[in-house]
Chain A
Amino acid sequence: GEDVEQSLFLSVREGDSSVINCTYTDSSSTYLYWYKQEPGAGLQLLTYIFSNMDMKQDQRLTVLLNKKDKHLSLRIADTQTGDSAIYFCAAGGYSSASKIIFGSGTRLSIRP
């Protein structure tokens, strides 16, 4: 079945760039999402990319997609303490009838 995988933890120094990686198995995935979850809160949509794009940039966030390898990454430039959270990758099909599958989340911690 469909699967989305992420590493569980990432620690970076404040001011450095963070890169969170994700792989997915369903080659028909059309929408690839990144969400942020802060403690005790819901999931906040950060950004998403269509499968016909290689890159999307939004302020400090850059998403890269390698469709051939089914690999997605989220780069956060100039990482700040407020970026500490769990980041989820998700993959879904084009149709509104498609399921959307989430990875297990990557916990990002920031070192001073």
Chain B
Amino acid sequence: DARVTQTPRHKVTEMGQEVTMRCQPILGHNTVFWYRQTMMQGLELLAYFRNRAPLDDSGMPKDRFSAEMPDATLATLKIQPSEPRDSAVYFCASRDSNTGELFFGEGSRLTVL
């Protein structure tokens, strides 16, 4: 059963620490998205990639966030240094280019103290 896999599912860290979230998209999906969900802002698009190349990261705070796709099976989202306002659920999603369907992972819940 193909699915998007995200790790870690939960992360509690202290302000100033580096956080790395990982995503394994569904095999064969060449477009990968990172979203952030908070109560106040809803579901925000942070960045997305096609064929591992970044297409748009305008939704991401550039000074502390970075997103990469080292290879077709791994997308990473890094926050350095983390701040309490980064506390949220971070979702990765991959898109089937044939059908247009977008599939989400279970999310990484980040708490920054």
A97–B48 Cα distance when bound, in Å, is 9
Interface residue ranges of A68-107 to B (CB < 8 Å): 88, 90, 92, 94, 96-97, 99-105
Q: Is the CB of A100 within 8 A of B43?
A: no
Q: Is the CB of A100 within 8 A of B33?
A: yes
Taken residue by residue from 74 to 94, chain B's Cβ proximity to chain A (1 for < 8 Å, 0 otherwise) reads as 000000000000000001010
A94–B99 Cα distance when bound, in Å, is 10
A105–B93 Cα distance when bound, in Å, is 17
Known: A42-B106, A42-B107. A105 touches B42 (CB 8 A): yes
Which residues of B approach A to under 8 Å, CB–CB?
A: 30-31, 33, 35, 42-43, 45, 48, 50, 55-56, 91, 93, 95, 97, 100-107
Q: Is the CB of A104 within 8 A of B43?
A: yes
The contact size tier of chain A is: 20 to 34
Q: Is the CB of A99 within 8 A of B56?
A: yes
Task: Give the residues in chain B near A24, CB-CB below 8 Å.
Answer: none
SS class, residues of chain A in contact with chain B? strand
Q: Is the CB of A90 within 8 A of B42?
A: no
Can you name the residue of chain B whose Cβ is closest to the Cβ of A30?
B100
Q: Is the CB of A42 within 8 A of B105?
A: yes
Known: A97-B55, A99-B56. A45 touches B102 (CB 8 A): yes
A79–B9 Cα distance when bound, in Å, is 31
Known: A43-B91, A96-B97, A102-B43. A90 touches B48 (CB 8 A): no
Task: Give the residues in chain B near A92, CB-CB below 8 Å.
Answer: 100, 102
A45–B105 Cα distance when bound, in Å, is 11
